Chains A and B, each alone.
Chain A
Amino acid sequence: MAGVLVFVELAGSEPRGVALETLGAAAHVAGALGEVTALVIGHECHAVAERIGQYGPSRVLVVDDPAFAAPVAGPYARALEAAVAATEPALVLLPATTLGRDIAPIVATRLGAPHLVECMSLTVEDQTITATRPVYQGKLLTTVTAPRDTVVFATVRAGAFKAPTPDEAKQATIERMTVTLDAADQRAAVTGLAPKGRGGTALESAPIVVVGGRGIGGPQGFALLEELAAALGGAVGCTRAVSDLGWRPHDEQIGQTGKQVSPKLYLGVGVSGAVQHTVGMRGAEVVVAINRDPNAPLVQMADFAIVADYNEIVPRLTKRLQELREAAGKA
């Protein structure tokens, strides 16, 4: 067992951003573990495989077959297992996406191997691999350690590692790999995809985004946020918990399974800041949090935080902004 196998997940015909960051994580441990092999799974994905070769792997394995046109756990897990058998790596890295977090534990189970989840750092020792990861919904961190007596699986948290700078001069060996699927791998079949709504709200392009989380307490509270957003000249977004609860429409959701925003100002109100949400706003230039809980991860990462009940702050803030705007208009 030597080397690192990286599953470079695609989004359509492009590698996902976090998948490129996973190649960055691989570069970080390659010195200790050996050469990096990328695994690309999809349909008609040969061109993207060549481009992935510019991000540092010495080898790119390509599984290119109509059976892999849609991301689905059964077939993808079988392809990953075949690539592990072919490369016998010491470490398998996957992006901590919905697919990565499905297939890593599936293949790990078959091999009796450990799976370190949502890794923010990776440290390789002679006998072990240790990772830092968030627990308690991102409120705290811990370390998890796996012995190196088998292959180790690790899913890499978005934003934790930098994607390598592509180098056009780099040429990786591209190898096609065929994977035989059995009926059991294909029991769950993908029948369709309703793509995320684009446009609609101006959320993705808004310079200021006011985001409400579960701490808002119900749909009524969002009226205060809409007024604040209007006073600031921004748009309203929400967390997955909020759209799941039906307090706001799904197309306002920001995060891993929602929209990605990178505004000049992100103002999170009653947002705890779980990683599934923060991966959608980490491009924000200035982060502000209003939250009752001083230990909320968003308070910890904010440039400016007010620890208070938002009902005490938001109406006052909106009123003051309206007054200032009016005064400026008259001047």
Chain B
Amino acid sequence: MRIAVLVKPVPDPSALRFDPRHGDLVPGVQLVVNEYDLYAVEAALRLREQVGGDVIVGTVGGGARDALSRCLAMGADRAVWIDGEGLPGDSLTTATVVAAWLRQEEPDVIWAGQETSDAGTGNVAPHVATLLGWPLVSNVVGWQYQDGQFTLEREIEDGHQFQTVAPPVVLCALSALDTPRLPTLRGIMEARRKPLEQRTLTTLGLDPAALSPRVQWGKLFEQERRASGIVLQDVDPDEAVERFIAFLRERRLLAW
């Protein structure tokens, strides 16, 4: 079975800093693989271990080398970087490029993270599924593959829903799946010998001029702070606790 995984390098969510003057992040934040995508990679590797085949990870855009190397070190067979130089960042454009690449690879299953920690639209996987004419199963928290069919457990508003579907299918991973393996030293050594291939819009048969964005993104800004909120910062812990208890008393939240 050929399994493709869509991954995205994102600014490390624990290291983000906002620059209000420029309406953007303070530059230089380290890029990491989007967390849900690592769960997707892990699921793909386990599926390969069960049924054989190969796992190909792919991404669009810059800063991808470390992210793809990590996926190779986890055990992916190949990695593909699609040069997105000058591409508008909207999700339908990204999905159009990804779908063009996937048509060349002809995978049976596509795993993706449910959404990214940066823009977080969750649009790319459903767009890709639709461009390929494949079914989409999102919010996957458990899966089994048997007799040519997936049984999928999804987390939705009303509980856990179970679906069955045969490949080809696009599956979106949540972090309740198996914990992503850490790259081993051997994995890291082997990753250096694995192919990290590059594609361009031209090699994918796409015309950059035809890829016009459907959504324009504005600058970043902060939510207005709740005017009445009290924030204690750099306050001695004992004093913070006393002030908090005084607050609870004032709001009549202590029964005594």
Task: List residues of A whose CB falls within 8 A of some B CB.
Answer: 11-12, 16, 70-74, 97-99, 101-102, 105-106, 108-110, 112-118, 134-137, 139-147, 184, 187-196, 208, 232-233, 240-241, 243-245, 256-257, 264-265, 286, 288, 294-295, 297, 299-308, 312-313, 316-317, 320-321, 324-325, 328-329
Contact = CB atoms under 8 A, between A and B. Distances in A.
Contacts of B158: 11-12, 193, 195-196
Given A116-B215, A189-B164, A257-B155, A313 B241 contact: yes
A164 B238 CA distance: 46
A191 B226 contact: no
B161 to A, nearest CB: 5
A92 to B, nearest CB: 14
A328 B118 contact: no
Interface in B90-116: 90-92, 95
28 contacts: A16-B157, A73-B136, A74-B136, A98-B138, A112-B92, A114-B90, A114-B92, A117-B120, A117-B121, A135-B118, A137-B120, A141-B222, A142-B221, A144-B216, A187-B166, A190-B161, A191-B164, A233-B255, A256-B157, A257-B157, A264-B253, A265-B248, A294-B233, A300-B223, A304-B230, A306-B244, A312-B237, A317-B245
A279 B221 CA distance: 21
A110 B127 CA distance: 9
Contact of A105 (B126, B160, B216, B255): B126
B1 to A, nearest CB: 17
B206 interface: no
B165 interface: yes
B232 A307 contact: yes
Nearest to B176: A244
B235 interface: yes
B228 to A, nearest CB: 7
Nearest to B124: A105
Contacts of A243: 176
A300 B219 CA distance: 20
A312 B232 CA distance: 13
B195 interface: no
Contact of B220 (A109, A140, A257, A264): A140
B130 interface: yes
A313 B121 CA distance: 36
Contacts of A114: 90, 92, 214-215
Contacts of B169: 187-188
A144 B220 CA distance: 10
Contacts of B232: 304-308
A120 to B, nearest CB: 9
Given A304-B244, A305-B232, A328-B256, A144 B165 contact: no
A316 B241 contact: yes
A184 B174 CA distance: 25
A188 B137 contact: yes
A72 B163 contact: yes
B145 interface: no
Nearest to A253: B155
Given A99-B156, A195-B158, A195-B159, A208 B123 contact: no
B51 interface: no
Given A136-B117, A257-B139, A288-B244, 7 more contacts: A16-B157, A98-B157, A109-B95, A115-B91, A257-B155, A304-B232, A307-B234
Interface in B195-254: 214-223, 225-226, 228-235, 237-238, 240-242, 244-245, 247-248, 251, 253-254
Contacts of A118: 120
Contacts of B244: 288, 304, 306, 317
Interface string B142-177: 000000000100111111111111100100001110
A183 B139 CA distance: 23
B240 A101 contact: no
B187 interface: no
Contacts of A108: 92, 127
B127 A300 contact: no
A137 B221 contact: no
4 A-B pairs closest in CB distance = A143-B218, A328-B256, A114-B214, A109-B130
Contact of A189 (B131, B163, B174): B163
Contacts of A136: 11, 13, 16, 117-118, 120, 220
B143 to A, nearest CB: 13
Nearest to B221: A141
A184 to B, nearest CB: 7
Contacts of A140: 18, 220-223
